[in-house]
Structure 1
Amino acid sequence: MQCLIQGNISGSIEQSDEGLSDPFVSSLVSALPSNYRLELQKTLKSIRRNKATHVALQFPEGLLLFACTIADILQRLTGVLVSILADVAYGACCVDDFTARALSADFLVHYGHSCLVPIDVTAGVRTLYVFVDIQIDVGHFVDTLQTNFEHGKRLSLLGTVQFLSALQVAVKHLSDRFHVSAPQQLPLSPGEVLGCTSPFLGKAADTDAIIFLGDGRFHLESVMISNPDVPAYRYDPFMKTLFRESYEHEAMLAARTAAVHQAAKATRWGLIQGTLGRQGSPNVFKYLEEQLEAKGLDFVTVLMSEIFPQKLALFPDIEVWVQVACPRLSIDWGSAFEKPLLTPYEAAVALEVVSWQTPYPMDFYSIRPLGPWAPRHPQHQPQQTKHSRDTRGCSARSEIPLTPQTDSSPSSTQPCSLIPSCSKGSSSSAL
């Protein structure tokens, strides 16, 4: 089967009147992966349209090897100063407009993540998001699912932003054989998953399988945590292999509940505001301060860009830490810290603001989170009148309405379904 994604995909073919056909520039472009949509033409137009004089580029670690080449292309064709932000960008929450402004940059290009932070709130720096769509062999993906799943199965197809265009194409080709959907957790796009934010799919009986399109487990684990009873599969588009994935739910829940119980007995707390890009939420931080004050508990506040056990060990008097940065830091690596390291949600449980939720909520950036320990809770956004993000600075991507939005609460029972090819994970096994 041949399934084609429409539109320019490669950096090498984005050559029109923006100067990309210059022989030397063409040689630079040819060094970039041809199946990565780096949107050089759009970036050049945006730099010129905004009359930028200093452009900052921000990449996730996996794209940093292309940073110098892209910077050379942009600088040669626009004449502006181009700086590369080398601090790690773990996700969409790490867009670093503050550092860009500190460098006197007036334009920021953030690669590899979606517009989680709207461009109208970036700190005086015009921001362009380049999703970096990756062209894959969608036909093999579709054939793999048709081979491994029975006709009529209900499949929920999810993935990271790089593969959403491919995901949409696959949905169209699979819909005549399966009940296929791309569940949506607003403000994310249909099918999009973050490491801390993923849709709750309802009762396990509503979905036969989760099909995740991506080359790693981190984002898939978010879906598995919030949907522990639904079988999960991951198709690796580079290995062209389908994996049956698993997650050690009991071990994770035991570790997290133990940390919460220990925290409930603590009298000396530490409250960490993450400063890596936009990870930290001032509103959530203030909410937690208010809850600690209401309980009459002593606490100290600390600002940290990255949170390591060695750093926190320098505060021996602190009995429990709460970090407003990345929930997965506590979930995945909490056991590496000497003292309990809680997420804002877990802190709310320890402070008896809310009872323990089942399944574990993965709704940190949802517009409908369970409580005000999440940044987009209505309590923190009294002026908000629309649910969608301002995406004027985002890379353009055609999207089809695959499924209605899903509520993050366990009471929601929106069914979901989408794609297959196989291997297994907290272990992975190839099918």
Structure 2
Amino acid sequence: MSTSAFFTDSLAVMQRTVEVTEQVAEPQDIVEQFEVDRCAAFINKHEFTKVGLQFPDDLLHVSATLASVLQSKISATVFILGDTSYGSCCVDEVAAQHAGSDAIIHFGPACLSTTKRFPVLYVFGRGRIDLEKCCESFQSLICDRNQHVLVLSDVIYSHAMDELQARFQEDYPNAVFSSIDSTPTVSPQDTRTGSSLSGVEGLDCQCNSGTCCSKGQSKETASSSATSKEETGDQKDEERTKGEVEGKDLMKGESLVKENGKCRFCGRTLDLKPGTSLEDYAVFYVGAESRTLTNFMMVLNKCTFYTFDPTTCCGRQETLNVNRALMRRYHLIEKAKDANVVGILAGTLGVANYLDIISHLKRLLKHAGKKSYVFAVGKLNVPKLANFMEVDVYVLVACPENSLVDSKEFYRPVVTPFEMEIACNEAREWTGEYITDFQTLLPGSSGHVVIPASSNSSERTDVSLVTGKLRSLGTREDDDDGDNRLMGRSCDAGALVSRDEPLTVSNVHKNASEYLMGRTWQGLEQKLGETPVTKATEGRKGIAAGYTHEET
């Protein structure tokens, strides 16, 4: 019987055309919206020879035209970075290093995370906004003209902040307008030697002095420093914390770095009124619903939020139940406390100090008696993480806007470094504050909490709020097996442990190889040396619906 009644003919599939509505952008509009002249001046001033142009998916339709217009104004070579390794808001330094780039120009929305390997110029674009309707929404939502108001915006609307400030400066004297510095984030002189692929491993120090960390030292010095740091552990962390926290104020766990009387918050500069903190302000946000807004609402969870969406010209008071969202995150913290095996997901290779937070998490998990494995899987999806059944929970190391993952569909929950630290560090308590920037957790930052010395060698027990069972945290001195000690259990490896459910037992494995041997399916069998060598033959042609050698 012919299969044509059930499948489309293979030739029809190959020759089929698809109707696509192409968005055509005029070169003159591109020059104005994406500041091509400013990009050309940046390249010519620093004499770059090869520059990467990074675009998010929704701007790829203008990427070729923009690159062509920019190329006509400079002598350097430009190339397009389209498919980013991780989030499109982060600078893809790894792809640029593979291409031998001297600098990166990042177009579109950005998380403004700190980078170190390349000079980076941010071009946000100029999003369309009706300032009259925005002002009307501001006045209708905020009736008290003496109220302290913090005006934040999505980066694509940052160009309108100066005009909004000029309109409200007299009527709202306590309003504070944020500003974003889009100048190059790193001095080119400090990075021209840092474009080698060794930077992917984080081995090159890109600071001004070259001596701020072990990355700028020689291999021998760096090795000895790493060894001594592992030996002293949290004592050095505490010393660094006491010595470097000066000049930083902690509010909701975010570091407010004071510069000339101003504060920096989430990549934005704020000039707060004297005697006030961020908690004293209501927030007026200009932009659509996005990860940026979610990040602000989670961090400033005690502030009232008002928003104006320029695409719909509608303003409203946000009714998102932040408390409910925090309760969901606390449930994930309890899941992390129950976990024995933790997967550390490298969700970025471009944000500064990502290797430091991974090392910090590994040390923290070891103190808590949990096993940890590091995974570099690129962009997250459900099938990728479902391959590792032995992992109980994942912790994602990413930029603040990509850290909050809704893991309802995932086989295992995904938490942030802050949530994992609450789960494993008994000195850090859940107070309702929330931190999305992992750099705030590192030693020397305002949000760093040193692991108590008592937790290094003692086993603690409490009751899980998820399962209602007794669980143990920390290591035991009387465990002979190091791997068994990491599991935080006193039973012998391979012993059967009752889980209280009827007819259900669990095998406690002391390492990943033993867990793999217990699987019914261990992957494809290589059979090295058992397969005879044969001559290559021509394979099948066509598609699965009907190969060329099959009779129709």
C-alpha contact (below 8 Å) 2:112/2:266 kept by paired residues: no
Residue 55 in 1 paired to residue 46 in 2? no
Q: How does 1:277-288 map to 2 (within 5 A)?
A: 277-278=350-351, 281-288=354-361
Q: 1:151 to 1:365 in 2, by over 3 A?
A: same
Q: 1:307 to 1:353 in 2, by over 3 A?
A: farther
| Residue 344 of structure 1: how far off its partner (Å) | 0.5
**Structure whose CA Rg is larger:** 2
- 2:63 aligned partner: 67
| Residue 249 of structure 1: how far off its partner (Å) | 2.4
> 1 CA distance for matches of 2:163 and 2:29?
28
- 1:168 aligned partner: 162
Give the SS at the match of 2:44.
helix
Q: 1:321 to 1:116 in 2, by over 3 A?
A: closer
C-alpha contact (below 8 Å) 1:365/1:375 kept by paired residues: no
C-alpha contact (below 8 Å) 2:152/2:285 kept by paired residues: yes
| Residue 191 of structure 1: how far off its partner (Å) | 8.9
| Residue 174 of structure 1: how far off its partner (Å) | 1.3
C-alpha contact (below 8 Å) 1:279/1:326 kept by paired residues: no
| Residue 79 of structure 1: how far off its partner (Å) | 4.7
Structure 2 unmatched runs, 5+: 1-24, 180-254, 450-552
Q: Give the total of aligned pairs.
A: 338
> 2 CA distance for matches of 1:254 and 1:374?
29
- 2:472 aligned partner: none
> 2 CA distance for matches of 1:360 and 1:321?
21
- 1:15-66 superposed Cα distances (whole Å, 9 cap, x missing partner): xxxxxxxxxxxx95225385x2x22112112223333332210023333322
- 1:57-96 superposed Cα distances (whole Å, 9 cap, x missing partner): 002333332211111112233354321111247465x111
- 1:146 aligned partner: 139
> 1 CA distance for matches of 2:384 and 2:49?
38
> 1 CA distance for matches of 2:126 and 2:265?
13
Aligned counterpart for 1:129 among listed residues 116, 122, 129: 122
Opposite residue 180 of structure 1, the aligned amino acid is A
Residue 96 in 1 paired to residue 89 in 2? no
C-alpha contact (below 8 Å) 1:58/1:84 kept by paired residues: yes
- 1:257-302 superposed Cα distances (whole Å, 9 cap, x missing partner): 2221122122212112224543871110010111122233222111
- 2:42 aligned partner: 46
> 1 CA distance for matches of 2:136 and 2:49?
48
Opposite residue 330 of structure 2, the aligned amino acid is T
C-alpha contact (below 8 Å) 2:418/2:435 kept by paired residues: no
> 1 CA distance for matches of 2:72 and 2:178?
42
> 2 CA distance for matches of 1:251 and 1:102?
43
- 1:117 aligned partner: 114
> 2 CA distance for matches of 1:356 and 1:225?
17
- 1:194-252 superposed Cα distances (whole Å, 9 cap, x missing partner): 79xxx9x8586x33x32101123432222222333433221122322212222132432
Aligned residues with identical type, % of pairs:
22
Q: 1:133 to 1:373 in 2, by over 3 A?
A: farther
Q: 1:128 to 1:222 in 2, by over 3 A?
A: closer
- 1:368-417 superposed Cα distances (whole Å, 9 cap, x missing partner): x3x328989689xxxxxxxxxxxxxxxxxxxxxxxxxxxxxxxxxxxxxx
Opposite residue 168 of structure 2, the aligned amino acid is L
Q: How does 1:176-325 map to 2 (within 5 A)?
A: 176-178=170-172, 179-182=174-177, 186=256, 206-207=280-281, 209-275=282-348, 277-278=350-351, 281-325=354-398
> 2 CA distance for matches of 1:302 and 1:144?
46
C-alpha contact (below 8 Å) 1:215/1:235 kept by paired residues: yes
| Residue 328 of structure 1: how far off its partner (Å) | 5.3
Query: Comparing 349-358 with 333-342, which one deviates more in the overlay?
Result: 349-358
- 1:428 aligned partner: none
C-alpha contact (below 8 Å) 2:31/2:37 kept by paired residues: no
Query: Comparing 43-52 with 261-270, which one deviates more in the overlay?
Result: 43-52
> 1 CA distance for matches of 2:287 and 2:91?
22
| Residue 115 of structure 1: how far off its partner (Å) | 5.0
Residue 29 in 1 paired to residue 102 in 2? no
> 1 CA distance for matches of 2:39 and 2:403?
36
> 2 CA distance for matches of 1:328 and 1:356?
23
Opposite residue 82 of structure 1, the aligned amino acid is V
- 1:22 aligned partner: none
Q: 1:346 to 1:316 in 2, by over 3 A?
A: same
Opposite residue 116 of structure 1, the aligned amino acid is S
C-alpha contact (below 8 Å) 1:56/1:108 kept by paired residues: yes
Residue 83 in 1 paired to residue 79 in 2? yes
TM-score, structure 2 normalization: 0.54
C-alpha contact (below 8 Å) 1:280/1:325 kept by paired residues: no
| Residue 311 of structure 1: how far off its partner (Å) | 0.8
C-alpha contact (below 8 Å) 1:221/1:247 kept by paired residues: no
- 2:542 aligned partner: none
> 2 CA distance for matches of 1:330 and 1:363?
7
C-alpha contact (below 8 Å) 1:194/1:219 kept by paired residues: no
- 1:105 aligned partner: 101
Off by >4 Å, runs of 4+ in structure 1? 183-195, 201-204, 326-330, 373-379
Opposite residue 256 of structure 1, the aligned amino acid is R
Structure of greater relative contact order (alpha carbons < 8 Å, 6+ residues apart): 1
Give the SS at the match of 2:420.
helix
Give the SS at the match of 2:122.
strand
> 1 CA distance for matches of 2:60 and 2:119?
21
Opposite residue 366 of structure 2, the aligned amino acid is E
Q: 1:76 to 1:375 in 2, by over 3 A?
A: farther
> 1 CA distance for matches of 2:31 and 2:444?
37
Q: 1:182 to 1:50 in 2, by over 3 A?
A: closer
C-alpha contact (below 8 Å) 1:269/1:321 kept by paired residues: yes
Give the SS at the match of 2:58.
helix
C-alpha contact (below 8 Å) 2:393/2:414 kept by paired residues: yes
Give the SS at the match of 1:158.
strand
Give the SS at the match of 1:292.
helix
Q: 1:160 to 1:134 in 2, by over 3 A?
A: same
> 1 CA distance for matches of 2:288 and 2:71?
32
- 1:372 aligned partner: 442
